[in-house]
Amino acid sequence: MAVHKDVEDQFTYLKKGSVEIIQEDELKAKLERSLKTGRPLKVKAGFDPTAPDLHLGHTVLLRKMKHYQDLGHEVIFLIGDFTGLIGDPSGRSKTRPAMTREEIDANAETYKEQVFKILDPETTVIDFNARWLGELTSFEIIKLMAKYTVARILERDDFANRLAQGHPISTHELLYPLMQAYDSVALEADVEMGGTDQKFNLLVGRDIQREYGQEPQIVHTMPLLEGLGGVEKMSKSLDNYVGITEPPQEIFGKIMSISDPLMYRYYELVTDVPVTEIEAMQNQAAAGDINPRDLKARLAHSIVADFWGEAAARKAAEEFERIFSQREVPTDIEAIRIPADRISLLDLLTENNLLPSRGEAKRMIRQGAIYLDGQRAEDIALELELDRHTEVVVKIGKKRFYRITRGKD
């Protein structure tokens, strides 16, 4: 236990970047008791193995779990191999498809390999909730269900919205919050962590622990990280994500493409840079004392180093400088000549068959997947001006480069 830190020091460290801690005074009391007794807190976070790869958005929660580890507390990375068979209804407008046992096992193994890029493997407890949920008898499940009302379950927005819109809710989905809550009972959790979309489930855990005679857990919620476009949450389905197993150069380039305001958000949520230092960066950049691009490069370096090490981060930075700052590009990219001296970005992408339709082009621009000379193109109405001495390098997605010049083919 890091006894050199008092309760206020620990609390400040844990609160950085958080959305909500319910209740703050209860967490301070638990921290105080832990310091006096030497018993670490049990900090639980559950992950349903519904996808095999983690992205930067997932690391917001993992990094805060690491903060608890830094203070000597016990972190439990709980893989929901049982609840994954139900499917978390959080944020869903329809019933989540059931996963097979084979899919769950394969994804769980991949998770275990990836989380140790953030968490300390020596002090992380990896558990599977089928260990106790799979052993519950039908009588015990009925007893658990009797401790909570349907009215309370239907208070959650996901269910209420689906009822109002006439979308079906399967009976087994009503079990999910109760099963997740029982995880906290089985583990005797002191703290449960999750994204803001998990708040309802986490609060049910407090209620169910009381019903089983346990002290209620602290609910510690973290924000959902915005994707590269800075608007919608990071998601693989929206293609606005940074995968933690992506090559270092890809990670570095994606971070360099984000906006300046989003950069500070990433500093807060996916690095350990203190808030006071982040504020100082913002003030220096606003005063013109430092180039925001240099701050972004430092951020990109830090993130790559977290997942791939310092040597890979340095190499990625050098490669980015070579390609984008010195405007060097792969030598074998396709050249496209534009006969006019002006062309809209949408026309460039569609008339030259770089994308199949204007709708697809607009979607790709809005998702931040189009770059002009290494800078993200964010305006669907953008027009390019070309003369015979102008060359523009267009990048689409991760690997498609095109050299745009003025003149006839």
- Return the pLDDT at 265: 93
Best CA proximity match to 147, nearest among 210, 86, 199, 200 = 210
- Contact status, residue 403 vs residue 393, Cβ threshold 8 Å: yes
Q: What are the pLDDT digits (tens) for 255-286?
A: 998 888 999 999 999 998 988 999 999 999 99
- Return the pLDDT at 389: 59
DSSP calls for 47-91:
E----S--BHHHHHHHHHHHHHHHTTPEEEEEE-TTGGGT---TT
- Return the pLDDT at 215: 97
**Hey, where are the domains in the chain?**
7-222, 248-325, 334-406
Best CA proximity match to 304, nearest among 267, 251, 260, 265 = 251
Name the β-bridge partners of 74: 42
- Contact status, residue 110 vs residue 103, Cβ threshold 8 Å: no
- Return the pLDDT at 74: 96
CA gap 311, 301 in Å, rounded: 10
- Return the pLDDT at 93: 39
Residues of the chain with pLDDT under 50: 1-3, 91-95, 409
Determine the CATH number of domain 7-222.
Answer: 3.40.50.620
Determine the CATH number of domain 334-406.
Answer: 3.10.290.10
- Return the pLDDT at 88: 54
- Return the pLDDT at 135: 94
Other C-beta atoms closer than 10 Å to the C-beta of 134 total 11
Segment holding 214, helix H or strand E = none
Q: Which residues contact 299 (CB under 8 A, 6 or more apart)?
A: 255, 263, 266, 267, 271
Is pTM beyond 0.75 here? no
**Beta strand 375-376 pairing with 370-372:** antiparallel
